[in-house]
Amino acid sequence: MKMRVIGSLVIGLSTTLLLTGCFFEGEQSIEKMDAPQDVDYVDQTDEAADKTTEDSVDDTNSEANEEATGTSTRQLYLLDANGMVVSQTLELPNISSKEVATQSLEYLVKGGPVTELLPNGFEAVLPAGTEILGLNLKEDGTMIVDVSKEFAEYAPEDEQKILQAMTYTLTQFENVERIKLWINGHEQEVMPVKGTPISSGVSRADGINIYASEDADVVDSKAVTLYYPAQNENQDFYYVPVTTHLNTSDNDSYESIVQALVEGPSFDLPLLTAFNEEAELLETSFENGVLSLSFNEALLSNQEKQSVSEHVMKSLVMTLTDQQGVEAVEVHVDGVEQVYSEDGVPYAEPVTINDITGADSL
């Protein structure tokens, strides 16, 4: 099956970011990892909220905090060759479980430990020399991130990319809903270079790689993050999240989202769609966190083997598990008893985001 490249006029990222305050409604939900243990839970009125720290976590059980050997897979949000913020699953050294959130941020720093692990065409996003001074998770889901003064040494055009990469990297953890930025122990009301307001915190509801749709009515539409395939110069595939508006209602939300994936990106970006042009969604149902999708036979990449493309499954699962309450996706094809992966493995169970990314749970 060939992928189709779709492109049209793109409205500049800097312009759409100005609309963010009214552009997005409500927080999007994702399949999250367990809560990182390198943070304190503190009441917002607690004096401890005035200072970020990891050291206050009880480490009297030295055996439990002893560093492990080997590696674990983690999701980090990096920059691709086109300047898009993209998730990559990397093998990071195993460390004490209470430090994994800090480690994830440290691996976003240019010239830091991520350098030798970067996939072809990707780069880290945080300014070189940035140190993570402390993390503090409040009971309302706000993660305070305290960084060193070197953090402020970034180019103006990277401000939103930095916010998005930090936010999406940390909100993969259970109970982390948004982040707030501190620099050298001082709370920041705005970002230090272009002055983006951040006093209320930044969440996934603020979007990632934001592009406006020419066809969507901003008032009556819904902000959705869609995941489209892309390729690097080595022809390796990865998936780019793009937040845009779709004309949809609560009654046809899933149908509108799937249709946008089938049609492909309506932006002048080097993104693809994995779906055959004739693919059509016939029916949806939702129960107990599982979204079931039924397609016509054009969904299949190989009708004889009754297989569904890996790229189709990844686009569907990564996109739809971003929707409130959707924990897994199962795919059916009309007239086909069982669908398989291209490797011949049956899709016998609903597919979760962790099945797709391969990231380890904590």
Who contacts 280 (Cβ-Cβ below 8 Å, separation ≥6)? Answer: 262, 295, 296, 298
pTM for this prediction:
0.80
Asked if residue 235 is part of any domain, the answer here is: yes
Among candidate residues 97, 102, 215, the one with its CA nearest the CA of residue 166: 102
Whether the Cβ atoms of residue 176 and residue 138 lie closer than 8 Å to each other:
no
Per-residue pLDDT of the chain (362 residues; tens, 9 = 90+): 446 545 433 333 333 333 344 333 333 332 344 444 444 444 433 443 444 444 333 333 333 334 457 998 899 999 999 999 999 999 999 987 778 999 999 999 999 999 999 998 999 999 999 999 999 999 999 999 999 999 999 999 999 999 999 999 999 888 999 999 999 999 999 999 999 999 999 999 999 999 977 666 666 778 899 999 999 888 889 999 999 989 877 667 999 999 999 999 888 888 998 899 999 999 999 999 999 999 999 999 999 999 999 999 999 999 999 998 999 999 999 999 999 999 999 999 999 998 988 766 55
Q: Which domain holds residue 132?
A: 29-204
- State how many domains the chain has: 2
Asked if residue 24 is part of any domain, the answer here is: no
Are 194 and 230 within one domain?
Answer: no
DSSP string, 46-90: SGGGGS--STTS----HHHHSPPSSEEEEEEEEE-TTS-EEEEEE
Are 243 and 149 within one domain?
Answer: no
Are 343 and 278 within one domain?
Answer: yes
Q: Which of 166, 187, 204 finishes a domain?
A: 204
Asked if residue 18 is part of any domain, the answer here is: no
- 346 strand-pairing partners: 340
CA separation, residue 4 to residues 8, 153, 240 (Å): 13, 39, 15
Asked if residue 17 is part of any domain, the answer here is: no
Asked if residue 327 is part of any domain, the answer here is: yes
